[in-house]
Structure 1
Amino acid sequence: MIELFSGLDAWVLISLLMALAFVLFFEFINGFHDTANAVATVIYTKAMPPHLAVLLSGFFNFLGVLLGGVGVAYAIVHLLPVELLINVNTGHGLAMVFSLLAAAIAWNLGTWYFGIPASSSHTLIGSILGVGMSNAMINGIPMSQGVNWQKAIDIGASLVFSPVAGFVVAGLMLLGFKRWRPLSKMHKTPDQRKKMDDKKHPPFWNRLVLVLSAMAVSFVHGSNDGQKGIGLIMLVLMGIVPGQFVLDLSTTTYQIERTRDATQHLSQFYERNHEQLGDFLALGKSSPGDLPSQSECNPQQTEPTIAALQNNLKGVSDYHSLSSEQRVEVRRYLLCLDDTAKKVGKLPALGDREKSDLDKLRKDLTVTTEYAPFWVIFAVALALGLGTMVGWKRVVLTIGEKIGKQGMTYAQGMSAQITTTLMIGLANVFSLPVSTTHVLSSGVAGSMIANKSGLQAGTVRNILVAWLLTLPACMALAAGLFWLASKALG
């Protein structure tokens, strides 16, 4: 890892280390801000002692990051338009990363201080959207192109759908528990259990399910939220030291051949569908000099881009053999071809089979650009795991006692945690970022309604206000900071 940073100017190295520290600090805050939700029910129901719960939760968050992959990481990265991602330079990268992180950290700390279960996912996504929109305004780009709005809509839909689904599924699950075992001790609160049975802990099987589901929530939280930190670090590395990180330098010869073959197959795919795609891609009409610029991608430059990429990769068996400038060029060509293929896949002229083939080619194109070094994954996992072990008390009380008018029963805790695990696990399958905070809080609220306990209007109002304000507040804050940073850089 050390050799990757050798030869950097002192100020670039210092800026890079500061940016990495900022990202890891964000993940540390994410740990004590969001993971309190993962252990809230298991601590409140006294299924586990608090310090053991947060210790194990930190460990399972750590494992979740290590084993979670990078699908969600690049879903976050690709909120920014491809034009912004290919325009890599040190000053721009620093301004972008510090602006969005400062906004996200400020909002996270504020909501944590007041014990409001707000979402780190919302803060980060809002900050990224703010930077993208601010960049569009500064450079005179249409706002429709300032952000990858289709990706933003997909992520927005997952952020809205997941808590609604959590509310409904947890409520239905609790009703199922009540129908299955209406007189079971699982329907007691910890206080009722203490008064009636003079016992501190839940019944054995309830306790086991509570513990296992809490650790499962921690694991899926790590695999989803940890990837957001991985995506941020990759933005930092590609923005500040692009020559070392725009391509995966550990790529094998087979993977490079796979990328090279994908470009050839992509060209053949476009030729086979010339009748439907000829005008959109200007097939047979472009000249060899029509290459994507440093700042934009144009579908009508597809043919010369494929030719240039094949020429750059000809005879290459190791990315180390390419110069830093060539690596940046190769990545730009790959991102532009992937972006164009994504647009082609949405054209109504193509059939479902063709669209499926195109999706497979896109995966082969991006196999060496959508990656993360192990040290990045490990650092994020460690920051998130350590952050889990502090600052959990404020949110535990909110989840356990302040959402419903009565305390949480064991069955409600199980319903909320199992539902949260299912919702986030499903989101991981589709590489979509979701909010552990809002899914779990909604699950608890759904179980309270199903249990006819009622909700505390004040707490629910605070959670909803935080949910509604987080995106626009972080967008505005990040946009303002990026605008100021860009002006300062000239």
Structure 2
Amino acid sequence: MDFWNAVGEMGGWPLVFLFVALLVAFAFEFINGFHDTANAVTTVIYTRTLSATPAVLYSGVMNFLGALLTVLAGGAAVAFSIVNLLPVDLLIDANSNAALVMVLALLFAGVMWNLGTWYLGLPVSSSHTLIGSILGVGMANSLWKGEGLRGVNWAKAGEVGAGLLLSPLFGFVVAAALLLVMRRTLKEPKLYEPPHDGDRPPRWVRVVLICTCGGVSFAHGSNDGQKGMGLLLLVLIGFMPVHYALNVNDPEKVPQLLHATNEVRAAYAKYEVPLPDALDRDLRYVAGHLDGLGSLNDLRTREEKDENGQPKNVRWEVRQSLFRTNREIKRAGADRGTPAEFRAELERVRKTRIAPTIEFVPVWVVVGTALALGIGTCVGYKRIVVTVAEKIGKTHLTYGQGAAAEAVAAATILAADMVKLPVSTTQVLSSGVAGTMVANGSGVQGGTCRKILLAWALTLPACMLLAGLLFTLGRLLVG
């Protein structure tokens, strides 16, 4: 209901741009479905475990479940790693035209690159595409305002970049190693030979391949689905900051947060750790504005003026104080010079009281993203499937190679979920296929691999440049 309340307060072109932005964001996730998930169905199709139609339907359902169940059960940390790449203050501090252009530029840049590489049959990373587009508009906005390159959260970008760069290397090495272990322990020759016309794998191999296909699809949904949710949250925060600053749907949030401010202070006093001045100010700000309120919704009734006499967005200011508090507690938790009990107490307060107030995904965003990803999986997969199965290695994909590559990909992506990092399904699985080709002695096709590596290398800078150019063009047009 908060969404429709916010829509009711908008009008004219901002409302039109909002629905265009939401449509393009869902389109990005739809394209992600058939662009990335082709990797998951490649092995079952090319080993003749399943025919194409049931394979993509099965993968689509597993993508839907992965996106839906992971977030509903365990939170959306990966989604917020995407949101926090772009300091969301930019969307609030900028004038409304700049915020609209910023969101639309990163959306169109991502969709254009993904469609272009899909048309060429290149299995590039939708994760790199999205992250490059976010970095591009952040940098372009800062340069436009003469602030250098401050428009990007470089610390978070470094964390995300490390995961995206290391995961394909991990996929290549581990998939190759797993296939070598399989060759030593499973002596069935048919596992390591390309299937002949009409051949189908043994029943137990089919079960394994179906399970690994489902595992990769579920893992892709859990990780890439959250990236789509992060993209939609950027849209909602950019267009409706008052309504999506805080989770206003739980009436117990006010007493919980007031209790949390006291608990944080008590922990610092109990363990005789100096309370940082900035944290002290944020705790006072939150407590002072929440005291006496029935719910977070009531923050809208409190009016304040900034130094220029303009109305201040109090709900957003409280959100920012909680965001800084959350960040400071995480920093304190990494300080091994403080007692372990102190760090554990702060982390409990952060995870149960503070983080859920500012890191939340509306249910309609979760369901809509899961549907877009699942439906997208069922169309347009053939171009990428042919590249992965026929053009990476010099021989046809074998049963053993398919099982090894997919098992490693699924495990890598699920592990990334646990450490809250976005990784590329495309890169992990394609690298895994290449690794198994090398381990099997069949070799890889140098021309195709060079094209894929070049596309991988270009995706991040190309999307940064494209998004930056679109943002600059938009600012020139709208002022």
Could you state the TM-score of these two structures normalised by the residue count of structure 2? 0.90
1:159 corresponds, among 164, 182, 186, to 164
Corresponding residue for residue 256 of structure 2: 258
Deviation at 1:266, TM superposition (A): 2.7
Contact 2:39 2:388 in 1 (8 A): yes
The 1:362–1:149 alpha-carbon spacing in structure 2 relative to 1, beyond 3 Å, is farther
Instruction: Report the Cα distance in structure 2 between the residues aligned to 1:266 and 1:176, rounded to whole angstroms.
Output: 51
The 1:30–1:432 alpha-carbon spacing in structure 2 relative to 1, beyond 3 Å, is same
Corresponding residue for residue 450 of structure 1: 439
Equivalent positions of 1:144-223 (< 5 A) are 145-191=150-196, 194=197, 199-223=198-222
- Are 2:227 and 1:228 equivalent residues in the alignment? yes
Instruction: Report the Cα distance in structure 2 between the residues aligned to 1:91 and 1:322, rounded to whole angstroms.
Output: 26
Deviation at 1:180, TM superposition (A): 1.2
The 1:113–1:170 alpha-carbon spacing in structure 2 relative to 1, beyond 3 Å, is same
Instruction: Report the Cα distance in structure 1 between the residues aligned to 2:330 and 2:464, rounded to whole angstroms.
Output: 26
Which runs of 5 or more residues in structure 2 are unaligned?
302-312
The 1:134–1:266 alpha-carbon spacing in structure 2 relative to 1, beyond 3 Å, is farther
Which runs of 5 or more residues in structure 1 are unaligned?
284-298
| 1:29 aligned partner, one-letter code | I
Q: Deviations over 1:388-431 (max 9, x none)?
A: 11111111111111111111100000001111100000001111
The 1:445–1:353 alpha-carbon spacing in structure 2 relative to 1, beyond 3 Å, is farther
Instruction: Report the Cα distance in structure 1 between the residues aligned to 2:282 and 2:470, rounded to whole angstroms.
Output: 35
- Are 2:340 and 1:334 equivalent residues in the alignment? no
The 1:329–1:88 alpha-carbon spacing in structure 2 relative to 1, beyond 3 Å, is farther
The 1:339–1:82 alpha-carbon spacing in structure 2 relative to 1, beyond 3 Å, is farther
Contact 1:276 1:349 in 2 (8 A): no
The 1:85–1:3 alpha-carbon spacing in structure 2 relative to 1, beyond 3 Å, is closer
Deviation at 1:82, TM superposition (A): 5.5
1:72 corresponds, among 37, 60, 78, to 78
Deviation at 1:446, TM superposition (A): 0.7
| 2:142 aligned partner, one-letter code | A
| 1:483 aligned partner, one-letter code | T
Deviation at 1:259, TM superposition (A): 2.3
Deviation at 1:12, TM superposition (A): 2.2
Contact 2:59 2:214 in 1 (8 A): yes
Count of residue correspondences: 461
Instruction: Report the Cα distance in structure 1 between the residues aligned to 2:340 and 2:453, rounded to whole angstroms.
Output: 40
Corresponding residue for residue 304 of structure 2: none
What secondary structure, in the 3-state scheme, does the structure 2 residue paired with 1:322 have? helix
Deviation at 1:60, TM superposition (A): 0.9
| 2:152 aligned partner, one-letter code | V
Could you state the TM-score of these two structures normalised by the residue count of structure 1? 0.89
Contact 1:127 1:477 in 2 (8 A): yes
The 1:266–1:82 alpha-carbon spacing in structure 2 relative to 1, beyond 3 Å, is farther
Q: Could you tell me the percent identity over the aligned residues?
A: 46
Instruction: Report the Cα distance in structure 2 between the residues aligned to 1:274 and 1:89, rounded to whole angstroms.
Output: 44
Q: Deviations over 1:163-189 (max 9, x none)?
A: 111111111111111111223422222
**Alignment RMSD, CA only?**
2.1
Deviation at 1:88, TM superposition (A): 6.9
Equivalent positions of 1:376-415 (< 5 A) are 376-415=365-404
Q: Deviations over 1:243-291 (max 9, x none)?
A: 22211221241x43332222223334455677756xxx4x3xxxxxxxx
The 1:42–1:230 alpha-carbon spacing in structure 2 relative to 1, beyond 3 Å, is same
Q: Mean Cα displacement is larger for which, 346-355 or 327-336?
A: 346-355
Contact 1:72 1:433 in 2 (8 A): yes
Q: Deviations over 1:94-123 (max 9, x none)?
A: 222111111111111111111111000000
- Are 2:382 and 1:428 equivalent residues in the alignment? no
Contact 1:90 1:241 in 2 (8 A): no
| 1:203 aligned partner, one-letter code | P
Q: Mean Cα displacement is larger for which, 385-394 or 346-355?
A: 346-355
Deviation at 1:370, TM superposition (A): 0.6
Corresponding residue for residue 293 of structure 1: none
